[in-house]
Amino acid sequence: MFEIEQKVMDEARQGEAYQGLEEETQGSEKRFYIESYGCQMNFSDSEIIASILNSSGFGSTRDADNADLILLNTCSIREKAEQTIRKRLTEFKKIKKNNPGLLIGVLGCMAERLKSKLLEEEKLVDIVVGPDAYRTLPQLIEEAETGTKAVNVLLSREETYADISPVRINSNGITAFVSIMRGCNNMCAFCVVPFTRGRERSRDNESIIQECKDLFERGFKEVTLLGQNVDSYYWVDPISNHAIDFAMLLEQVALISPKLRVRFSTSHPKDITEKVLQTMKAHENICKYIHLPIQSGSTRILQLMNRTYTREWYLAKVKRIKEVMPDCAISSDIIAGFCTEDDNDHYDTLDVMRTSKYEYSYMFMYSERPGTLAAKRYKDDVPLEVKQQRLAEIVSLQNQLSLETNKLDIGKTFEVLIEGNSKKSDEQWMGRNSQNKVVVFDKTDAIMKPGDYVLVVVHDCTQGTLIGKIVS
C-alpha cells in the first residue's frame, strides 16, 4: 500500500546505524556507533557529528558491540518517538555490562527537551548533547571518560555548522541532503521543534554553494536543501551587505550545473513566495515538487494551531502553484485529532485533501508535547479511538488519491535519475522523476548506471510506484 510504503520509506531509516567508510576508521583506536531517529534534519546532523568525531580521532563501527561510544540522535516530535528511544536504551544494558568502559550518549531533540533530567531517568546514559552543542562532543567525551556525567544543551543563535564538512552516511553517492538553516521561529501550537532546536538562523550562503559544488564534483546528481522552514532563508553577507533570500539561493544552486537536480523541504505555506515559484519554473533542474504541509483543513483548527493561514488561503496557494507549474506535485503533513477537533473539522481536512489532490502525505495522530502552546492552552480532548478512526480515514483517502494521481501518469514520459537497483529485483532500476515519484523499469542497457538520467515511459503503476520502460 502506498501510504504504508511512504511511512516505511521514513520509518525504514529510523534507528539507521552509521555505515562508516573503511578509510575513516583506519588507525583509529576508538570507535563510535550512531543511530539516527526522526526527521531528515537529524540524519543530516549525524553526518556533521560523524565529521566532528572523525576529526578528533574516532573511527566508526556498524556494530554496537564493538563500540567505545554509542550515540542515539533522537527525536521528540511525538511521544512515541521518545518511547522508542527509551526502549532502545534498555537494549544497550547488556553491552554496557560486558564493556563497562563503554560510553552512551543521547543527542538531539530529546536531549534538549529533557536536559539533565535524562541522566536521572536513564542511569545508563553518560552524555547528553543538544542540537547546537555538537562541537563540544570531544570535550564531553573526555569528561565522561573520567566518570563524570557530561551535559551540554545550550542553544545558540548563531551555530549552523557551516564550516564542517559532513561525512555522508549510508550514501548512495547520487542524492544528498544539505542543511541551509537551523531552528524555527514559527511556534505552531502543537510543535516542540522551536523549543528543542531554538531560534531560526540561516547558514552562510557561500558555504552552502561550496558544499553543493563539492557534491556535484564528487558525482552526486541531486541535492535537497533542508530546513524546518526553507522559504524564510535569509542571509546578509557581512562584507558586501548583499542579502540572499530563498529564491536567490535556489537559483544559485540550480546554476551549478543543469545536471544537478535541486529539491527542498519543508515549505511553510505562509512563506513560499511567487518569486520561489517563478524560480522553480525557470529552471528545469529545480524539481517540480513542493512539500506544503496543511496540518488541518479547518480554519478554526488552523487558528488554534497558530498556523497563520486559513483553509481558503492555503487552497489559493495550491491553485497558484498549479497555475505556474501544472506538472508540480504537492505533498502534505496532516494531524488527526488536534484539540477540540470535531467531525466537521475532520471533513474539512478530507475536503482539502481531495481539492489539493496530494501526491503523498505524512499523516499523524495528534500527540501532546509538554511545554508547547497547545499543552499549555488546550485540552487534548479527542479520544484515542476517534483520533485512530480519523487517521484511518485520512490514510485511506490519501491511498486513493495517490493511486489516482499515479494513474494519470500512465502514458507520460519522464526524465528519471537512476538511484540504484529496485527493491524487488536486481534486473530493474529504481529512480525518481522530478515530481519525486519512484519509478522502476527493466535494465535494458548494460552501460547504464546509478547517477544516469534516462527517459522512461510509464505503462503501469501502484499506489507508490510508477512502472515504466526506457525510451530508446
Residues in CB range of 425: below 8 A, 6 or more apart: none
Which residues contact ligand SAM by CB under 6 A?
A: 39, 77-78, 190-191, 193, 228-229, 266, 268, 293, 295, 333, 335, 364, 366-367, 369
Nearer to ligand SF4, 67 or 191 (CB): 191
Q: According to CB under 6 A, which one of 61, 73, 74, 186 is a site residue for ligand SF4?
A: 186
Shortest separation between residue 182's beta carbon and ligand SAM, angstroms: 12
The site map against ligand SF4 for 190-209 (x = CB under 6 A) is: -x-xx---------------
Examine residue 184 and tell whether it contacts ligand SF4 (CB under 6 A).
yes
Residue 194 contact among ligand SAM, ligand SF4, none, beta carbon within 5 to 8 Å by kind: ligand SF4
User: Total residues at the site for ligand SF4 (CB under 6 A)?
Assistant: 10
Nearer to ligand SAM, 19 or 388 (CB): 388
HSE-CB for 179 with a 13 A CA cutoff: 27
State which residue, 140 or 188, has the beta carbon closest to ligand SAM. 188
> Closer to ligand SF4 at the Cβ: 31 or 311?
311
- When asked if residue 336 is in the footprint of ligand SF4 (CB under 6 A), the reply is no
- Candidate residues 201, 203, 268, 288; the one interacting with ligand SF4 per rule CB under 6 A: 268
* One residue of 28, 73, 84, 229 binding ligand SF4 per CB under 6 A: 229
Shortest CB 77 distance to ligand SAM, Å: 5
Minimum gap (Å) between residue 216 Cβ and ligand SAM: 27
**Residues near ligand SF4 (CB under 6 A):** 184, 186-188, 191, 193-194, 228-229, 268
